[in-house]
């Protein structure tokens, strides 16, 4: 028996063998374990937006190729995106792996085949080509200018279909081209029929067409009208684009009559 215990026994103090206090075991939570950053407590009610920063950075690298520049250097991409060159290189490796980006022997980057494949799938999802292309061809034949059909994507407009003018001097726009929404005839029509309310766009809705003279490019003019589908659902803008000097010489009322007539025919063909 330890000396301290013998002393306590002589003094009449009862002793008990020492045992450690039991440690409480927490109950297992039945809730699934969450990974990643917890939701922010300072978000407004209903704003359950989730963003992945790495994905947004990768998409900004792809967006750097807008504006008709097919090839960019590492420094140019870094300047356009605001990312460090080392970050661009890491993102480019993943984008290259999935076919979104390709780096040539000269060190310049260009888009890979995947964006084209996705673009074709995007275009085919509209199922409009059989209706829109004949309308564009008729407009080119009747006006001699390039005709195009635009849809709204967020705060931009996309040329979904186009038919080029046979003239040597003409406005050239490719299918898939992304243009500003707040300038140009088609952009104004898209804004007017997707909720924009101000005197200018109220007038576009009332008139049913819009004429642009040098809004996006001082040497280009355009006229556009809305196209509707089933249930009067707005689909896009049908437009004619050409050199400003030629369209200014034309009767604007005649051009408006042609574009609104074709837009109405196209809308009826689409169930509008």
What's the pLDDT tens digit per position in 65-96? 876 678 999 999 999 999 999 999 999 999 99
User: What's the mean pLDDT when you consider all of the chain?
Assistant: 83
Starting at the edge strand found earlier in the chain, the sheet holding 156-163 runs 178-180, 156-163, 146-153, 234-243, 220-228, 210-213
What's the average model confidence in pLDDT over 235-241?
Answer: 95
Residue from 219, 224, 195, 221 nearest 207 by CA: 224
CATH dotted code for 119-269: 3.30.450.40
- Say which residue the tokens 């605001």 belong to: 82
**Domain residue extents for the chain:** 53-112, 119-269
Q: Report the DSSP beta bridge partners of residue 150.
A: 159, 237
Are 220 and 243 a contacting pair, CB within 8 Å?
yes
Collapsing DSSP to helix, strand or coil, 68 comes out as: coil
pTM tops 0.85, yes or no:
no
Kindly report, residue by residue over 118-152, the tens digit of the pLDDT: 887 877 776 788 899 999 999 999 999 999 999 99
With a cut of 60, say whether residue 15 has pLDDT above it: no
Q: Report the DSSP beta bridge partners of residue 162.
A: 148
CATH dotted code for 53-112: 1.10.10.10
Are 160 and 175 a contacting pair, CB within 8 Å?
yes
For residue 191, what are its two tokens?
């804004």
Q: Please report the sign of the dihedral spanned by the C-alpha atoms of residue 249, residue 250, residue 256, residue 262.
A: negative
For residue 40, what are its two tokens?
């922010």
């Amino acid at each position: 028996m330890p000396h301290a215990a013998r002393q306590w026994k002589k003094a009449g103090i009862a002793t008990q063998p020492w045992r450690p206090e039991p440690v409480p075991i927490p109950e297992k939570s039945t809730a699934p374990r969450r990974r990643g950053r917890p939701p922010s407590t300072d978000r407004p009610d209903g704003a359950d937006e989730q963003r992945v920063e790495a994905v947004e950075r990768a998409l900004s690298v792809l967006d750097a190729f807008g504006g008709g520049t097919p090839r960019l250097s590492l420094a140019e991409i870094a300047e356009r995106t605001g990312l460090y060159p080392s970050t661009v290189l890491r993102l480019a490796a993943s984008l290259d792996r999935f076919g979104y980006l390709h780096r040539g022997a000269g060190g310049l980057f260009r888009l890979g085949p995947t964006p084209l494949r996705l673009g074709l799938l995007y275009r085919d999802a509209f199922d409009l080509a059989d209706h829109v292309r004949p309308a564009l061809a008729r407009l080119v034949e009747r006006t001699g200018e390039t005709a195009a059909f635009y849809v709204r994507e967020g705060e931009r407009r996309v040329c979904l279909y186009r038919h080029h003018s046979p003239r040597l001097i003409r406005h050239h726009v490719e299918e898939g081209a992304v243009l500003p929404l707040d300038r140009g005839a088609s952009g104004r029509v898209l804004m007017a029929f997707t909720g924009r309310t101000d005197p200018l766009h109220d007038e576009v809705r009332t008139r049913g067409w819009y004429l642009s003279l040098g809004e996006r490019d001082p040497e280009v003019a355009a006229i556009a009208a809305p196209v509707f589908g089933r249930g009067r659902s707005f689909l896009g803008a049908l437009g004619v684009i050409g050199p400003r000097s030629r369209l200014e010489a034309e009767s604007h009322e005649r051009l408006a009559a042609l574009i609104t007539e074709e837009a109405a025919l196209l809308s009826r063909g689409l169930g509008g």
